A and B are shown apart, each in its own frame.
Chain A
Amino acid sequence: MKLRQIAHSRTGDKGNVSTISVIAFDEADYSLLAEQVTAARVAAHFAGIVTGPVIRYELPQLGALNFVMKGALGGGVTRSLALDAHGKSLSSALLDLDLTAPEHPEGGQARQGKS
């Protein structure tokens, strides 16, 4: 399944840094986001666009993650030659990320196995 099916997202910009939020529609899906939408996966998804490190911040009480991508905007919004100099469309690209659907629904066997 696609990230888009369980989360929404907005991109912001500061200089040459792009910030992207990933917010679960249903806060119960936060653990799935936290497990699969890692900084490394986001960095790999944007390989060729983001030249610096990707940092992830976790906001479990909002069911949200916040990604900070350095060197993402072609030298900065005010200098970039890109059609989308602000990188505002990057959120839509991230929502196309493939996720592995959980084998067991919440409260199913997976949880019982842990207890």
Chain B
Amino acid sequence: MRTIRIGAGAGFAGDRIEPAVELACHGNLDYLVFECLAERTIALAQQARLADPDKGYDVLLELRMSAVLAACRENGTRIVTNMGAANPLAAAERVRDVARRLGLAGLKVAAVTGDDVLEAIRGSRLSLLEGGTLADLDNRIISANAYTGAAPIAEALAAGADVVVTGRAADPALFLGPLIHSFGWAADDWETLGKGVLAGHLLECAGQVTGGYFADPGVKDIEGLARLGFPIGEVSENGDLIVTKLEGTGGAVTTATVKEQLLYEIEDPARYLQPDVVADFSQVRVRSVGPDRVAVDGGNGAARTGLLKVSIGYIDGHVGEGQISYAGTGAVERGRLALAIVRERLALTGVPMTEVRFDLVGVDALHGAALSQGGAPYEVRVRVAARTEAAADAIAIGNEVEALYTNGPAGGGGVSKSVRQVVAIASALVPESLVSTQLGFFEA
């Protein structure tokens, strides 16, 4: 039975560069996939595009492509990535430019567009999954992008693309597209498509399946995290999968690392909603078949819902934050006094806030008082964060913390403060008929 090798070169926008280079040079890969979009990334990219129409794609695109493109060309490895973000066409042109600079004449780059549905839904009363309707977000909306499926990616590959650049494609679709193209899987072969989504889901976070985000010294030890190897999926024509990594790289592929990633960000394991299929992971089994080799089977699927999820980015006021540290005996008491002072000051000065938090980092900042039992730490960090409508009010939060230098408890040091505009995300479902994807091609 035919098998293809598909590697994950990035699991998030800021991921390491060298693991992808190792895969490009030594992975003997058919495909190398870079997944670089989080829920909010595309909304931020849309803001960048509004400021400059030539921007709005991943800022590391050129760096990543410069690092792998020549090796991929030499080894016959094709690239799929969602680094197009809010501007896949501009991104594809940049990839072509990189290819030209590297002397890779004839290299073909495809852009998948059509995920931007802002104009199609603007002004509607589309229901939001968080409650309320689109109308509630009114003029604060900055972006709306549908999670698109594998079909346009497979189509671009069939048209000879060496590199496929998408916007808001669903993460597993970046892997499912190449599988559909390689094996000719039917668009209603739900079981096999479900297996393909399973492969994509396991690989899309890159190092998170090869021992990254797993180590717990003394309980779950992992060697070589500073040179973690990224995963390779060996996928058979029937959808069977083996997860592995390059010999000599750090990390580990074990049944435990694969199980953790299998359930990562999954709600109902029997119904993982994707644009192409409702994948069913509920009967999946994993078994070790060699060093750093884990076989995964039992994936299944059911007919897709015909609905696509849309991520809607909107401006949601500002967050102001300030921090200051205290140390030594009595640090916790001085930290609590500092929080009480800032609380009183914000009331006295009447800073308009819709939400505020007073945290003692090192004591109870992460999970609150009930779960945070234990001895007194040597040092604590006071943290005050508040949501305000206006930037000027957000500035006041950090300023009140900073004023603790000369007005607060003894020995406070290391103040930091920040203000950021909040780009929040709401979600909705739209009929797939509302979204039509297009391909654009560029040749080096």
Contacts and interface: CB of A to CB of B under 8 A. Distances in A.
Interface stretch (B25-33, B244-252, B354-362): B354-362
**Most-contacted residue by chain B among A57, A62, A82 (CB, 10 A):** A62
13 contacts: A8-B219, A9-B260, A45-B371, A57-B269, A59-B269, A59-B282, A61-B298, A66-B266, A68-B268, A79-B424, A81-B385, A81-B386, A89-B367
Given A61-B285, A79-B316, A84-B366, A19 B267 contact: yes
Interface string A63-84: 0101010000000111101111
A48 B364 CA distance: 13
Given A21-B259, A48-B370, A81-B387, 12 more contacts: A9-B260, A10-B260, A19-B264, A19-B267, A59-B263, A59-B284, A62-B259, A62-B262, A62-B263, A76-B425, A77-B39, A81-B356
A78 B259 contact: no
Interface string B124-146: 00000110000000000000000
Given A15-B130, A81-B385, A89-B366, A64 B259 contact: yes
Contacts of A45: 371
Size bracket of the B interface:
35 or more
A33 B427 CA distance: 34
A17 interface: yes
Nearest to B368: A48
Sorted nearest first, the 9 A-B pairs with minimum C-beta distance are: A12-B265, A21-B263, A10-B260, A81-B385, A78-B424, A78-B425, A12-B264, A79-B424, A81-B357
- The SS class assigned to the B binding surface is mixed
Contact of A78 (B40, B256, B357): B40
A87 to B, nearest CB: 9
B259 A76 contact: no
B424 A62 contact: no
B119 interface: no
A19 B263 contact: yes
B308 to A, nearest CB: 16
| Interface-central residue, B219, B367, B387, by most chain A CB under 10 Å | B367
Contacts of B298: 61
Interface of B: 39-40, 129-130, 213-214, 216, 219-220, 256, 259-270, 282-286, 298, 316, 319, 355-357, 359, 361, 365-368, 370-371, 383, 385-387, 422-425, 427
Contacts of B385: 81
A37 interface: no
A83 B383 contact: yes
Given A23-B256, A48-B370, A81-B387, A15 B264 contact: no
B211 to A, nearest CB: 12
A89 B292 CA distance: 27
Nearest to B357: A81
Interface of A: 4, 8-10, 12-17, 19, 21, 23, 25, 45, 47-49, 55, 57, 59, 61-62, 64, 66, 68, 76-79, 81-84, 89-90, 93, 96
A93 B367 contact: yes
Nearest to B265: A12
Nearest to A16: B130
A39 to B, nearest CB: 14
B265 A81 contact: no
Kindly name the residue among B260, B316, B355, B368 whose own CB sees the greatest number of chain A CB atoms within 10 A.
Answer: B260
Nearest to B365: A83
Nearest to B270: A57
Contacts of A59: 263, 269, 282, 284
Nearest to B213: A10
